[in-house]
Amino acid sequence: MIKFSYTIAFLLIAQLTIGQTVKVKNQQQRLKGENIDGFAVDVEGKKSDVQASLTRYLKEVGKVKFLSSDPLVITDATFGGNVYAKRPIYANEFGVRYNRERAQAQIDLTQQALDAVDKQSVRFINQGKDLTTKLANNELEKIRLEKALEANKLENLALKIRIENNKKAQDSIATAAVQIKKVKEVQLEKLRKIN
């Protein structure tokens, strides 16, 4: 069985770093009463995220066995097409890969935020165009209504004048009717006297 020992000191610092340098240290680990040489890498992140990334990385290398302590054992290890039998294998590139994954995740989050901002920007631009069109239509409707209101005022004034003239005409006709009735009464009275 090929044994693989890999120790990682997990830092729980949640700061965003601009540039990261991976520093690999030689380290010994005791496994089944035997000192095993290995390498250690300090990476930043949640312990669960680091463990998940390490497990994915190591599954690409060979069969991973988790022990009760920190060391992992990898059997049937293959690196770059070379099978390493009966020798300890170390995942020296994990720190670089993990930091690249974190950086890419941050880039992806930033891109999602940028995409959301771009989408909102387009939405606001389109909304601005719609509002400008509605304002222009509203201004035209206002002008049309003001003209209609002015025409209505003129028609209202003309109707009032016509009503006043109509009343005068009714009064004049009523006066004429009274005069005509008087004339008729005079004529009736003449007719009665003829017999």
Does 28 reside within a domain? yes
Rounded mean pLDDT of the chain?
Answer: 78
Decide if pLDDT at 174 tops 70: yes
Does 176 reside within a domain? no
Does 18 reside within a domain? yes
Each residue's pLDDT tens digit, 14-50: 333 445 566 767 777 776 777 777 667 778 888 888 8
Does 37 reside within a domain? yes
The count of structural domains within the chain is 1
Q: Which residues pair with 63 in a beta bridge?
A: 75
Q: What is the DSSP string of the chain?
A: ------EEEEE------SS----EEEEEEEETTEEEEEEEEEEES-HHHHHHHHHHHHHHHSEEEE-SSS-EEEESEEETTEEE-SS----TTHHHHHHHHHHHHHHHHHHHHHHHHHHHHHHHHHHHHHHHHHHHHHHHHHHHHHHHHHHHHHHHHHHHHHHHHHHHHHHHHHHHHHHHHHHHHHHHHHHHHH-
User: Residue 47 is part of which domain span?
Assistant: 7-109
Does 185 reside within a domain? no
Decide if pLDDT at 148 tops 80: yes
Confidence class for position 2, pLDDT limits 50, 70, 90? very low
Each residue's pLDDT tens digit, 72-122: 556 666 666 666 654 444 557 677 788 888 889 999 999 999 999 999 999
pLDDT, position 111:
95
What's the alpha-carbon Rg for the chain, to the nearest Å? Answer: 50
Does 154 reside within a domain? no
Bigger pLDDT: 152 or 11?
A: 152
Q: Which of 193, 161, 8 is nearest to 94 (CA)?
A: 8
Least confident stretch, 31-40, 51-60, 81-90, 186-195: 81-90
CA 34 to each of CA 86, 133, 142, 153: distance values in angstroms, whole numbers, following the listed order: 15, 80, 92, 107
Average pLDDT over residues 145-171: 95
- Cβ–Cβ under 8 Å, residues 2 and 75: yes
Does 73 reside within a domain? yes
Does 165 reside within a domain? no
pTM above 0.85, yes or no: no
- Cβ–Cβ under 8 Å, residues 2 and 78: no
